[in-house]
Structure 1
């Protein structure tokens, strides 16, 4: 769960540090006080899109840091972190996000620099943020299949991965077929280009690693005079009258003549003899090497021309001789395909038909898996509806074009999700047919549908922290209490942070944070305060009336807290 959040120079926040508890934490305060800004900060912390607009005016950067404690050793964040080489110790994960005034974004996980994509991938396993925009996305049917696939995700993921392997192979084959069967003029131009390129590379008669060997030889030739001088100086220092070998010979002879008197002298005489003969042989090697060293401007010119030719080919076909030869092999294969395209097209057609059959079988398996999962999800949603006073609602997951699948299978095109087109349908009144959500559900009903889904997915996805940003808008009375109960029940499975204007939800909180704006050094700042019991009663009273506190509202607030306590302890919740 998220235990600590530090935010600095972020919009109207100068610097705050918030400690979060397990269970349900509510955030309340006047409109514009900065409640949603805190959620925006968490959104950025887990990889949301950043902007220089988030950097506080006249500041160089905005900084956000969050500490998560993950006690479940099987949580997916551990395998992901290992995959990206991120060390986790003592079950602690620290996410950091910095946005500079110039628009640069810097991301770290446990001190290691990571890309925004990695931060987003890991962050998605830790926090799930739900706001009114996401509720509205329920009306987009293209989003429904994603929601279904996230339910019992492991089962569907396996079937989908097996299908996608074949789907991408089929897609690749279709592209090859299309490229090969394009108009004759375009193919002829392509063949001319490939044959020209192949001839150019073939004529060059490249040898593997030729460029490296030539570079080495060119370096030696260009420095042949320096090499010759160095070796000659060494040779002259060793060989000749009164030179190195002469003095070694004198030393060797002195020890050899007296070696019979002392074992040490005998031992050193043998060593020196070996050194003498080794150095004598070395001088012969130096002499022979100097005889072979010569400055050859013609050979150097040949090498320069050859390297120019190779570098010209590198600019066109690859960064190395090996890459150029690889490219030559590829275009040779393509030339052969174009010249004998009819036989290749026939072969591709056969491969596509066989692969398409296999892909449809996997798509059908994926479809059947989804049907089974959809049945389970529908049952859970209906149970959740009862808790949210939608007991008369009927929820259906519609698999469109299912009849076509039975009789006209091959007419249904395959796509990334198989051949399924899924839509959530609902009827909120008895006797009325199910229809699209946007044609039936009100804003409050949509909120309850999404809340029911979140409660179900919180168990399935192992999300450690669920955040609700004003999802209770548009509800009141017993429905408000039902939503409060549902939000609290979710907090029994995952930590929940909830921005709310409903006193029923606030009363259920395990921790209550009050957000307010104030002025500091002639600038607006946001302050976060955790409310104790007395302050919590006052805040609930304000939420109930929106005006001055009275004995009646205070009494009502106390009753709400007592009722909430009973409901929290109830086995129903």
Structure 2
């Protein structure tokens, strides 16, 4: 849910900070007070298109910041942030957007600078905005298959996963077969290229870890003088008259003579004795290293040449010798495939036919799962439509299959509707009128909000064009959506305002010849007055206050039923 929203120098808003709670928050106020501006700010915060026109006149930039709380470990935002390399702290997400007067836009997620596309990717998992004329997701037939899959939940997801596993294999085989059966000239060029590359790598006779060993040897030869002097000094510090081993040997003899007098000195003797023999062994190793040291300028020249050759190969074929050898193995396999193209084509065709049979089975299972889910979805939508006094409307989820394998199966899904008995079903976007569209959208959102995992749903005047019992039905439906998800709603309907858990009143005032927007949380008495104003439209009388109180009592009874 969105917990905090801070807006500064945005349109007519100078500075506003708003706290939001769970449940249904309704925003009301006079036309032009800035209600929709607040929703516009949230839209921009979630990656919407910005413009310097949003910057308050005379200011350098507009700033919008929102704090979102993630309450479920399975929330889609967590996965998206993980994929994008964005760290989450205590399951909190802070989105920030700055729009400069110059037109530049700066976006941040949890303090990390991101592009607008990344901000949009995160924002779409947190906020779902529905305006009076903006039902893009529900009106876009291309997205209906995703909505059905979300509704089908685990049953369809398992079928999609099984289908995709086979589909990915099928597409890889298809690509390989296509590479072998098209463009003979390009394949001939490819054959010449990889033959040359393989010959160049093979002639180099590279060995694993060769570069590391050569670098170590070069370092040793290059530092011959330093090594010889250090080892020689170390050896003569230990060996010789009055040197290290002499003194340690003397200490060992003295303590050996004393241990018969004091047994506790036996431990000291053992320690010194062990040290003596270890130092003696080390001195022998030093002597052997000195004997093996050799300064060979010809060997150094060979190493430099070999390292240069490896460096050139690394520029072409990989960052390490191991990667070069892996590349050689890969193109050797490719070379064999091209040289024996006909047999590989036959083998791939047979494998592709076998995988295609498996893919058809998985596609059929997916279609059956979607068809079954479509029937259940139709029943659920009809229940919602009846609640909104669209009992004569007929909703249909049209699942059709085509012969082309695609990432999400072989199905096309589109929502169809008719609101008048006797009229044929038509695509959703071509049927509903303004008032009907609001109710249909609410019916669908009541279903899909339970499956999408969106943190906050925002309705911007979706109740326009309705009144009476339909208005109360819409109010009830918006509240029912808020039971599953936090809902922010701009409304001119007193019925919707009465159902709110939190009522924010948006007003504007003139201060020093500048317009400012204010946001106030209404108390119970203030809520009665505001609902009374919404009922009467002009003057709040005792009668309208009475009606407002009755509406609030009705709302409370409706909430208890929910």
Instruction: Assess if the C-alpha contact under 8 Å between 1:107 and 1:115 holds in 2.
Output: no
**Aligned with 2:457 (options 466, 475, 478):** 466
Q: Is the 8 A contact 1:55 1:99 kept in 2?
A: no
Deviation at 1:58, TM superposition (A): 4.6
1:442 aligns with 2:461: no
In the other structure, the counterpart of 2:304 is: 304
The change in CA–CA distance for 1:433 and 1:25 in structure 2 (over 3 A counts) is same
Query: Which residue does 1:183 correspond to in 2?
Result: 183
Match of 2:315 in 1: 315
How far, CA to CA, are the matches of 2:286 and 2:449 in structure 1?
A: 80
**Residue of structure 2 in register with 1:423 after alignment:** 414
Once the two structures are overlaid, the 10-residue window that deviates more, 156-165 or 260-269, is: 260-269
Offset at residue 113 of structure 1 (A): 9.8
> Cα distance, 1:126 vs. partner?
5.4
- Say which SS state the counterpart of residue 309 (structure 1) adopts: helix
Q: Does residue 543 in structure 1 map to residue 534 in structure 2?
A: yes
Of 105, 108, 125, the match for 1:106: 108
Q: Which residue of 2 aligns with 1:68?
A: 69
Q: TM-score, normalised by structure 2?
A: 0.87
What is the aligned-residue RMSD (CA, Å)? Answer: 3.4
Counterpart residue number, 1:556: 544
Structure 2 gaps, min length 5 = none
Are residues 1:226 and 2:226 paired? yes
Aligned to 1:476: 467
Q: 1:171 to 1:10 in 2, by over 3 A?
A: farther
For residue 21 of structure 1, give the secondary structure of its aligned residue in structure 2: coil
How does 1:280-291 map onto structure 2 within 5 Å? Answer: 280-291=280-291
Per mean C-alpha deviation after superposition, the further-off stretch among 289-298 and 367-376 is 289-298
> 2:418, 2:275 → 1: CA distance?
101
Cα distance, 1:358 vs structure 2: 1.3
Q: Kindly state the Cα deviation for residue 29 of structure 1 after the two structures are TM-superposed.
A: 2.3
* Deviates further, 469-478 or 171-180: 469-478
Q: Distance in 2 between matches of 1:141 and 1:218?
A: 67
The answer on whether the counterparts of 2:25 and 2:501 sit within 8 Å (CA) in structure 1 is yes
Instruction: Give 1:233 deviation, angstroms.
Output: 1.5
Moved more, 471-480 or 388-397: 471-480
The answer to which of 255-264 and 165-174 deviates more is 255-264
Distance in 2 separating the partners of 1:518 and 1:384:
41
Match of 2:161 in 1: 161
For structure 1, the 5+ residue unaligned runs are 406-411
Greater Cα shift, 414-423 or 502-511: 502-511
Pairwise mapping of residues 246-285 of structure 1 onto structure 2 (< 5 A)?
A: 246-255=246-255, 260-263=260-263, 268-269=268-269, 271-285=271-285
Q: Secondary structure at the match of 2:404?
A: coil
| Cα distance, 1:34 vs structure 2 | 3.2
Check the 8 A contact 1:65/1:94 in 2, yes or no. no
Structure 1 residue 19 displacement after superposition: 3.1
- State the Cα deviation string for residues 206-252 of structure 1 (Å, max 9, x = none): 11111111111111111111111111122222323333334444444
Contact 1:23/1:496 (<8 A) preserved: yes
Tell me the distance in 1 between the aligned counterparts of 2:483 and 2:255. Answer: 93
User: 1:413 aligns to what SS in structure 2?
Assistant: strand
Deviation of 1:312 after TM superposition, in Å, equals: 0.9
- In the alignment, is residue 341 of structure 1 matched against residue 341 of structure 2? yes
Q: How far 1:545 moved relative to its partner?
A: 5.5
Q: For this pair of structures, how many residues does the alignment match?
A: 553
Which shows bigger deviation, 476-485 or 310-319? 476-485
In 2, Cα distance between equivalents of 1:240 and 1:502: 105
Task: Provide TM-score, normalisation by structure 1.
Answer: 0.85
Structure-2 residue corresponding to 1:399: 399
What residue in structure 1 maps to residue 17 of structure 2?
Answer: 17
Give CA deviations for 1:386-416 in whole Å, capped at 9, x if unaligned.
222212211112224x5xx6xxxxxx11112
